[in-house]
Amino acid sequence: MTDRNPDDLLLDEAVLDRLLQAEARTPPPPFPAALRARILAAAPARRALAPAVQWMRAASIAATLSAGAAAGFAGGAAAFSTPGEQVLLNLVLSGPEDPFAAFLEESSMENGA
Amino acid sequence: MLRAAAAGDRLAAGHLVDQCGPRILALARRMLGDEQAAEDVAQEAFLRLWRVAPDWRGGEARVSTWLHRVALNLCYDRLRRRREVLLAEPPEQIDESPDAEQHLVEAELASRVRAAAAALPERQRAAIVLCHYQELGGAEAAQVMGVSVEALESLLSRGRRALRAALADEAPAQRTGEGR
């Protein structure tokens, strides 16, 4: 009686590969739309900025605006050429409570009223 | 893409799910043999991805590899909890094509292979599923399983040997099929 090689009782390697390939080719059921929706519902939402970041952004915008306003004001001041306009401008810049009234007073003094 | 998804880009998140979701679900199906449990695993794997997404360091690991690893560990957890193996049965589909009979034979064969794979010890099954079905390379599959490449090869070899024993009676049918 001859001893049989245990490997003789096994499926051939090549046949196993074919079986595995055939099984792998079996089309899987489609990815369920409901599962996709559930996964996406849990996906990160657009995050609101943290308060500190919001303050920094607000401060940055304010600085930009005030710099722009200052530059614009300086440019405008150079365009004022008449004495009356210069007076008005000076009064505005020096910050009286009622610059227009001060302008009228100044004008009337100049006109000898 | 993950960075965009982490920032709330729904389109990027959807693209990630479309790209990786089917493969992760396929892995869980083959490991668990239960559709509902497989869906739960796929969903949980993505929820964990969303949680780590803001701190994700690109290049450290591929998203797909990471998802495979998380899903596989979730499968292990479930298998350990229930301590039983269920066979994966795909939903029945009516096939009216002229090759329906051949498809039926192939489906039956596929079912037997799945049953044999489902009966393997879980780590051998994972090695077979990752390398043969998920088509991961040896290094990536080893990374997913958290073992060395040599250990993976040993698991693969033992798994294949067990499959050859379980499917030994398929050999005559295969030879008959070849003769057709």
Q: What is the spatial distance between Cα A111 and Cα A104, in angstroms, rounded to a whole number?
A: 11
The widest CA-to-CA distance across chain B, in whole angstroms, is 58
Angle between the A13-25 and B170-179 helix axes, to the nearest 10 degrees?
80
Whether residue B132 lies within 8 A of chain A, CB to CB, comes out as yes
Whether residue A42 lies within 8 A of chain B, CB to CB, comes out as yes
Q: Is the pLDDT of residue B91 over 50?
A: no
Does ipTM come in above 0.85? no
pLDDT tens, residue by residue, A40-83: 999 988 765 555 555 666 666 666 666 666 666 565 555 555 66
Residues of B in contact with A5 (CB under 8 A): none
Whether residue A49 lies within 8 A of chain B, CB to CB, comes out as no
User: Which of A16, A24, A35 lies at the smallest CB-CB distance from B160?
Assistant: A16
pLDDT tens, residue by residue, B27-39: 999 999 889 999 9
With contact defined as beta carbons under 8 Å apart, do B28 and B71 qualify?
yes
* pLDDT band at A17; cut points 50, 70, 90: confident
Q: Distance from A21 to chain B by nearest Cα, in Å? A: 8
Angle between the B35-52 and A33-41 helix axes, to the nearest 10 degrees?
30
Please tell me the pTM assigned to this model: 0.64
Q: Which has more confidence, B170 or B13?
A: B13
Whether residue A18 lies within 8 A of chain B, CB to CB, comes out as yes
Whether residue A4 lies within 8 A of chain B, CB to CB, comes out as no
Averaged pLDDT score across all residues of chain B: 83
Q: What is the spatial distance between Cα B119 and Cα B86, in angstroms, rounded to a whole number?
A: 9
Among B147, B169, B38, residue whose Cα is nearest residue A31: B38
Most confident of the ranges B5-9, B91-95, B123-127: B123-127
